[in-house]
Amino acid sequence: MEQIENFFKIKHLYHRAGFGIAYPDLQKASNRNFHKAVKHLFSQAAAVDPGLTTVDQGETRQQLLRQAGLGAKKELTPAESEQRKTILRMQNAKSRDLNITWIQKMIDSESPLLEKMTLFWHGHFACRSNNPYYAQQLNNIQRKNALGSFKTLVMEVSQSPAMLQYLNNQQNRKNRPNENFARELMELFTLGRGNYTEKDVKEAARAFTGWSYNREGDFEFRRNLHDEGNKTFLGKTGNFDGEAIIDIILEQPAAAEFICKKLYTFFVNDQPNEIHIKELARHFNAKSYNVAAVMEKMFKSDWFYDAENRGNKIKSPAELLVSLSKTFYVNYQKPQVLIQLQSSLGQYLFNPPNVAGWPGGKNWIDSSSLMLRMKIPSLVLNDGLIDFSGKADPEDEALLAINRKGKARPVKSYINAATDWPRFLASLPKDCSAEKLAAFLLQPGLNAKIKSLIDHKATLKNIAIEITSTPEYQLC
Amino acid sequence: MKRRDFLRNTIFTSAGALMVPAFLKPFEALALDELSRYKNLVVIQLSGGNDGLNTVVPYGNDIYYQKRRSIAIKPQELIKLNDMQGLHPQLSALKEIYDQGWMTIINDVGYPNPDRSHFRSMDIWQTASDANQFLTTGWIGRYLDSDCNTCKFPYTAIEVDDSLSLAMKGQTKKGIALKDPAVLFRNTNEPFFKEMILQEEKEHLDEDNLGYLYKTMIETSSSANYIHHTSKTFQNKSVYPNTAFSNQLKTISRFISSGLKTRIYYVSLSGFDTHVNQKQQQGNLLKQYAEGINAFLKDLKEHNKLDDTLVMTFSEFGRRVEQNASNGTDHGTANNMFLFGGKLKKQGIFNPAPRLGDLDGGDLKYQVDFRQVYATVLDKWLDVNNGDILNRKFNPLDFI
């Protein structure tokens, strides 16, 4: 009995802390104490990770210099105009490469927790950059510090060219402050509304004057643009610079609670539980903002495995695509399709809607995105076909005839992916029944409806396609 | 008979008359609505920041010609509306509409502390937020959430597109995105999905996420059936230009004329980010826009629906008053909005032309907050209280 309970606990853990788990790994882990599974996730995440290396710094710099040169000219010759377009095209192509490399990394990674945390910070410190090198740099900062010190993470994000540019800190100068960065730092990154005043925003903006970056893509403090006067910020007065402001922010009790609430709604439940969040926040504070410590606390808490916290979170598009591809060993012949899917589903990575990130939860779902989500597994796994004909009655047949309009199904769907079915099927236990497969693939508990819906006589392959085409599969 | 069989046997008894799960009950209220005329709103989004000053040109102001040496439009090329403003020559198809009294132009619409990012400013327009406020629901979505008398059906708002804009997303209710009703109908009638819908019992439809997913699926399916069956019988003989935009308007016209009980339609035309060689690019788009609108309004008139329809066009921002060095314009602030329909109260130009001599760092100052325009539409066309939808009360205008 304990082993069965362990099986489902570990499956839950791996869907939240990662992107799912293969059957043999799950079986092996469930024979052991589940704390070992938690430990394993963290030890994988502690391994050295080079991050994303798709975009070459030197190449991007050359392009930028060339672009700046062209931009400074009053009139461009046709050749120069063409060159400018070529540079833009190359940068866009690089940005797409970067996106695909990351989503592929999430699928293949040996440390799922690290990628999942990176995905969390990617949404928390939401940023857009036309410069693929800056975007990559920020993503790597978020990965490097994903489970480290939150303070270091905030500092490095705040000093990254991508964020400085996105939130206009390049324009934040002594006597001409731009408050955008200071405001979002407090409202969205650290404290949340209601924990600072408009005056605090203004004073903090003054402290961040001169925070800038150079053409190498490195942070640069421009002392001549910095406001050296006294600032009064959250009750303290002094000649503060940006680092001092971040220190003072993190002295506020609101900061740990704000971050833990975000972690909770991302990893545990859309509906925040104040008691659990306070418990995490106390620990986060006690451990000096060590992210690994607070995550370990979460994954080891009994409430993390409560029935109300299992199988009830709507997968983000990234989670859906990554877990599906990972489970079925999908190989995308044209990986660009992954970008198309992200965009249609409403989560184009590296392109959040605004600095507040993707709102998540029920916001992922509308009529068109839900129908597409339920269609994707069959498109990816089986060229769009859900082999389900066992129960048709004469009226259904009539309807089928109208719908199909006599057209044979296309040989290849636009997704153009190859599923390693032999590998997937070989990973399942020998006596795998339709129900057992459903219990493995779905996070919500099996109900009578799913049991009666799945075609018990079909092959495991067809059953897998049916199960992944349900609303239940949208949850983790 | 088991409930399931009952549903199965009745769901497609005849086109148009279909059985939907009891909790939706969309048809019971129809009888009342049938008595009054059914008012529609069509929202048209011009994405990319349309250059309003080269759309409705303030040719009577010399500053316009000083600031736009190479891209200004000469007075003799314009379609003059009064002695200050005239339409871009590629908008000639709107001349007839304007003369009929079916068009209102509101100058200088914007909001305080304007944002120059496309994404951010579009967010602000779609959510009707302040510049420093991040809302996760759109203004039309919140209208749907309000569960008012005019918005109770799951198909109250339709976006003719592949995906749904933030404007159409509420907290509990959302609009439907569809480009082709037949495609959505085929998708929801995939045998496996249909079986799932038929099998669904109420116990899953709790307020939790799974219940929400099933509810969305059932509503989508029921709406897809309703939209498909209602609109498929309607034959539209009007001729539209052969552009994607016109095709979308044609679909909307088919929906409206076939009597679909949808209140709000949403459609976008993109490509207005004209930093370089604006003249040709913007001209092409404006032509597509004007010719589409012309065909659409005449089509509605022919089907006696023009008086029940209000069309509203916006773009996320205008362009800077001064042109740039690449014969284009950069991101600016306030912009004009257009309204079309058979029941406009103030036809023609609503308010004074932009004051080019009184700028804010080279940008137009807004005269009208865009939320006042929304407020007008909400109060006077959709019969709700604008303060409930816009989170605070805005003063409505007097154009309808």
The yes-or-no verdict on residue A244 having pLDDT over 90 is: yes
Residues 146-165 of B with CB under 8 A from A: 162-164
CA pair distance A455, A464, nearest whole angstrom: 10
Residue A394: closest CA among chain B residues belongs to which residue? B9
Domain around A25: 1-44
- Do B209 and A472 count as a contact with CB atoms less than 8 A apart? no
Helix, coil or strand: residue B281: helix
Residue B131: closest CA among chain A residues belongs to which residue? A180
Q: Does A238 reside within a domain?
A: no
Q: Name which of A187, A184, A133, A200 is nearest A161 in CA terms.
A: A133
Percent of chain A at pLDDT exceeding 90: 77
- Do A362 and B176 count as a contact with CB atoms less than 8 A apart? no
A396 touches chain B (CB under 8 A): yes
Split chain B (400 residues) into runs of 10 and give each run's mean pLDDT.
Answer: 40 39 43 61 96 97 96 96 97 97 98 90 96 94 89 91 93 91 89 85 72 92 93 87 95 94 95 88 96 97 95 96 88 96 96 95 95 97 95 96
- Do B191 and A386 count as a contact with CB atoms less than 8 A apart? yes
CB burial of residue A77 (10 Å; 0-12, 13-18, 19+):
exposed
For residue B362, the one-letter residue type is: G
Calculate how close chain B gets to A403, using CA atoms only, in Å.
6
Band of residue A376 on the pLDDT scale cut at 50, 70, 90: very high
Q: Name which of B309, B300, B301, B290 is nearest B246 in CA terms.
A: B290
Which chain B positions have a beta carbon within 8 Å of A449's beta carbon?
196, 199-201, 204
Q: What is the dihedral of CA B394, B395, B396, B398, to 10 degrees?
A: -160
- Do B186 and A371 count as a contact with CB atoms less than 8 A apart? no
Write the DSSP symbol of residue A410: P
Which of A167, A348, A369, A371 should we substitute to test contact with B (largest number of B Cβ atoms within 10 Å)?
A: A371
CB A60 within 8 A of CB A94: yes
Which of A84, A127, A367, A387 should we substitute to test contact with B (largest number of B Cβ atoms within 10 Å)?
A: A367
pLDDT tens sequence across A428-441: 999 999 999 999 99
The yes-or-no verdict on residue A69 having pLDDT over 90 is: no
The pLDDT assigned to B3 comes to 41
Write the DSSP symbol of residue A447: -
- Do B178 and A368 count as a contact with CB atoms less than 8 A apart? yes
For A270-300, b where at least 16 C-beta lie within 10 A, e where not — what string?
beebeebbebbbbbbbebebbbbbbbbbbbe
CB B174 within 8 A of CB B164: yes
The pLDDT assigned to A452 comes to 85
CA pair distance B310, B377, nearest whole angstrom: 9
Q: Does A465 reside within a domain?
A: yes
The yes-or-no verdict on residue A402 having pLDDT over 70 is: no
Calculate how close chain B gets to A400, using CA atoms only, in Å.
8
- Do A344 and B163 count as a contact with CB atoms less than 8 A apart? yes
CB burial of residue B140 (10 Å; 0-12, 13-18, 19+):
buried
Which residues are B338's β-sheet partners? B105, B313
Q: pTM here?
A: 0.86
- Do A375 and B210 count as a contact with CB atoms less than 8 A apart? no
The dihedral region occupied by A175, where left means phi > 0, alpha psi between -120 and 50, and beta the remainder, is left
The CATH number assigned to the domain with range B38-274+296-390 reads: 3.40.720
Band of residue A389 on the pLDDT scale cut at 50, 70, 90: low
Q: What is the dihedral of CA B136, B139, B141, B145, to 10 degrees?
A: 100
The pLDDT assigned to A75 comes to 76
CB B109 within 8 A of CB B368: yes
Measured CA angle at A437 (ends A433, A440), to 5 deg = 140
Q: Does A124 reside within a domain?
A: no
Q: How many CA atoms lie within 13 A of A178 on its CB side?
A: 17
Band of residue A282 on the pLDDT scale cut at 50, 70, 90: very high
CB B158 within 8 A of CB B186: no
The CB density around residue A306, as the number of other CB atoms within 10 Å, is 13
Phi then psi dihedrals of residue A244, to 5 deg: -65, -40
CA pair distance A349, A344, nearest whole angstrom: 12
The pLDDT assigned to A453 comes to 84
CB A476 within 8 A of CB A444: no
Which of B24, B134, B189 should we substitute to test contact with A (largest number of A Cβ atoms within 10 Å)?
A: B134
The pLDDT assigned to A412 comes to 60
Phi then psi dihedrals of residue A350, to 5 deg: 75, 0
Domain ranges of chain B: 38-274+296-390
Going A366 to B121 to B41 to B92, the CA torsion angle's sign is: negative
The structural domain count of chain A equals 2
CB B249 within 8 A of CB B179: no
Strand positions, DSSP E, chain B: 40-47, 56-57, 79-80, 86-87, 103-110, 157-159, 176-177, 264-270, 309-315, 335-341, 348-349, 368-369
Nearest beta carbon to residue B220 from set A128, A367, A392 = A367
CA pair distance A357, A227, nearest whole angstrom: 31
Average pLDDT value for residue range A348-367: 93
CB A131 within 8 A of CB A115: no
Nearest beta carbon to residue B220 from set A370, A389, A400 = A370
CB A231 within 8 A of CB A237: yes
- Do B326 and A76 count as a contact with CB atoms less than 8 A apart? yes
The pLDDT assigned to B202 comes to 54
B169 touches chain A (CB under 8 A): yes
Q: Does A152 reside within a domain?
A: no
CA pair distance A318, A324, nearest whole angstrom: 10
Written as one string, the DSSP assignment of A134-150 is HHHHHHHHHHHTTTSBH
Nearest beta carbon to residue B199 from set A356, A359, A453 = A453
